Structure 1
C-alpha cells in the first residue's frame, strides 16, 4: 500500500493565505464550519509566532462574524509544553486526529442482514438524505444545520463526492460521504442515527464503499480520543499518523 498522509485528506475550503509558517483555509459559504475555517501550521510555531498568528486569525474571523479559532499543528509533532500551557490557560480545547487506511480486500466480511439496504443518493432520495442529516445536525444548532443542508445540495451536484444512504426496515438510518480521488476514496461524515445503532449499519456502509472502489485505498480520519478508532483497528484499518488541533469558541 502506498504511503498515505494527511495531504490525501479532502479539505472543504480555499487557501486565503499561505506562507512558510502556515496555510489559512477559509470557506465563505459555510463560515460556521470549524473544519473549513482554520489555520494549519507547516512547522511547529514558537509561542511568539503562535500569538502573532492567533491575533491575525481572530481579527480575520471577527470581521466576518465568525466566533471561533481553530489551529492544526504539523503532522506527527506534538505541541511544545510552552504552547500547551498557553493554549490551556487561554481556554482552548486540545485534541488530536488519527489517520487510517485500508485496502478494500482487507476489510472483514459483513453479515448480509436483509433488514439493511444501502443506496446511492439520487434525485429520488435526496430529500430523505437532507431530512435525516438535518435532524442529526440540529445538535450543533439550527444555523449549522441550515448551512449544512445547502452544502449537501451543492456537493450532490458535483462529481467528486458520492453520497450514500442506509435504510433499516425501509426507515432512513444512516449515511456517509465518499470523497473520490484518483488513488484513494475517503470515508467522511459516517453517521448512524442514534435509534438504529448497534445493528451493523456502519459496517454495511463501509462495506458498500469497499465493494464500490476495490482498486483504491480507502482512508478516513478518526478522533484520537474517541472510541470509533478502536472499531477501525478491528476492521483492519492501518494507522498512518496523527495531527494535533486546538479550538476555541467565543461566547457572545
Structure 2
C-alpha cells in the first residue's frame, strides 16, 4: 500500500510560481480562501529567506486586494526558534495540521439510526447541500459563503469530487466533500449543523464512505489543536505526520 503524505491532499488553486524553495499557489476564483492562496515551502526557510518571500507575497496579494498572508512549512518539520520568534513578533497565528489515514475495515461500525439518512448529492438534493453549507460558511463572512457556493457548484460537476449529505429526522444536518484519486479517498470539509451535533451524524457520514470505498485508503487532515482529531484517533485513524503553517490577516 502506498503511504499517503500531505502531497496527496488536494489543494484548490494553481501553482503560478515554483522554485527550489517553495510553490506559490493562487486561486483567482476565490481570493479570500486562505488555503488556496499561499506559499508552500519545500525546505524550511531561514528568517532572512522568509522575510524575502513575505515581501513578495504581500506585494502580490496587495495587487489582488487580498489582506492575508499564509505560509505552509515542510512536512514533519517545526520552524526553528529564530523563525518562530519572527512570526510571533509580527502577529502571525502559528499552528499545525495532522494527517490521518484508515483502512475502512478498521473503522468502528456505526449502528444504523432511523433518524439519520446519508445520501450522495445529486441534482435533486444539491440545493439542500448548498443551503446547509452556506449557513455553516457564513461564520467566515458573507463574501466567503457566497464564493463557496460557486466552488461547490463547480466541484459538483467534477468527476473527481463527490459530495455527501446527511439528513436528521428529514432535515439537512451534515455535509462532507470527498476527493477521489487513483490511490486514495480524501474526506474534507465534514460539518454538522451546530444545533444537532453529538447525535452520530458525523460518524454516519464517514460510515457511508467506508462502505462505498471499502477497498481504498481513506485520508483526511485535522487541525492539530482541534478536538476533532481526538475523535479520529478514537475511530482508529492512524496518525501519519504534521505540517506547520503561519497566517496573518492585515
Q: CA deviation at 1:183?
A: 1.5
1:237 corresponds to 2:237: yes
Q: Determine the structure 2 residue equivalent to 1:43.
A: 43
Q: Determine the structure 2 residue equivalent to 1:90.
A: 90
Q: Report how many residues are paired.
A: 250
1:193 corresponds to 2:193: yes
Query: 1:159-211 CA deviation, whole Å, 9 max, x = no partner?
Result: 01100000000000000001000110000000000011010000000000111
* Aligned pairs (5 A) from 1:99-248: 99-248=99-248
Cα distance in 1 for partners of 2:229, 2:63 equals 37
Cα distance in 2 for partners of 1:215, 1:182 equals 12
Query: 1:99-130 CA deviation, whole Å, 9 max, x = no partner?
Result: 00000111001011111000111110111111
Q: CA deviation at 1:215?
A: 1.3
TM-score relative to the length of structure 1: 0.98
Q: CA deviation at 1:2?
A: 2.8
1:58 corresponds to 2:67: no
Q: Is contact 2:2–2:183 with CA below 8 Å preserved after alignment?
A: no
Cα distance in 1 for partners of 2:66, 2:104 equals 40
Cα distance in 2 for partners of 1:157, 1:98 equals 29
Cα distance in 2 for partners of 1:183, 1:63 equals 38
- Report the secondary structure of 1:125's partner residue: helix
Cα distance in 1 for partners of 2:200, 2:107 equals 14
Ranges in structure 2 where 5+ consecutive residues have no aligned partner: none
Ranges in structure 1 where 5+ consecutive residues have no aligned partner: none
Q: Determine the structure 1 residue equivalent to 2:3.
A: 3
- Report the secondary structure of 1:124's partner residue: helix
Q: Determine the structure 1 residue equivalent to 2:77.
A: 77
Cα distance in 2 for partners of 1:227, 1:134 equals 23
TM-score relative to the length of structure 2: 0.99
Note the aligned Cα RMSD (angstroms): 0.6
Q: CA deviation at 1:84?
A: 0.4
